[in-house]
Amino acid sequence: LEGLAARRVQRLVVASSMSVYGEGLYMTEEGRVADACTRSLDDLRRGQWDPLDKDGRRLTPLPTPETKPPTLESVYALGKYDQERLCLLLGRAYKIPTVALRFFNVYGPRQALSNPYTGVLAIFAARLMNNRPPLIFEDGLQQRDFVNVKDIARAIVLALDKHEVSDTVLNIGSGQAATVREIARALAEALESDVEPEITGQYRVGDIRHCFADISRATALLGYRPEITLDAGMREL
């Protein structure tokens, strides 16, 4: 950032992450929005996978907008949030138009199968290609938003070209929710594999339950609309 301040650029687009949200947005049974939901270690130990409201009642997951306050549940999320904030601060201080794009679960061709941080689709594909079942944490019903790398690339170009859009964060996802269990089975079908996923019932501290994107702000400000369906994207992957 000091280098950018010394040699001013016309625009700065930073790759942020949906991980900054922690849990996504939820709605209570009374129709109130709940934006600070978490799961305790005790919840996970007893297999209570879905967050509950303060009275122990179920919550309904909603598309997560940029207005949801961050809830940092992992070191990775903390690092991405720091990066996003630093870039926006730099942009304001040095008059560099800056946009932070919060990417959801990105997948696509040429993902590294050997990299454990590359994403769940590549990990599942590697196991299926070796005739081994994808290992799914919890019950597999956690919901995510899988967005194709080609749509990500289009969003970056739009963010670079729309000079009137700056000093803001934008969700870049597909705008569609899919469970991890659905993803594993759909990927097996794309690979013509009859290997069923293994639902382990195990958990990882720091994992979130549901988070999928509200992309209406990116559509309104950038004209962003995802074009690659999940089925077509997985066949290409």
Active site residues: 76
| Tokens (6 digits) for 69 | 């306050």
Number of helical H runs and strand E runs in the chain: 8, 12
Contact (CB, 8 A) for 235 and 190:
yes
Name the amino acid, one letter, at 134: P
Cross-strand bridge partners of residue 170? 101
Q: In what helix (H) or strand (E) does residue 136 lie, and over which residues does it extend? A: strand 135-136
Residue 29: how many other CB atoms lie within 10 Å: 11
Cα 88 to Cα 2: distance, rounded to the nearest angstrom: 13
DSSP string covering 118-134, please? S-HHHHHHHHHHTT-PP
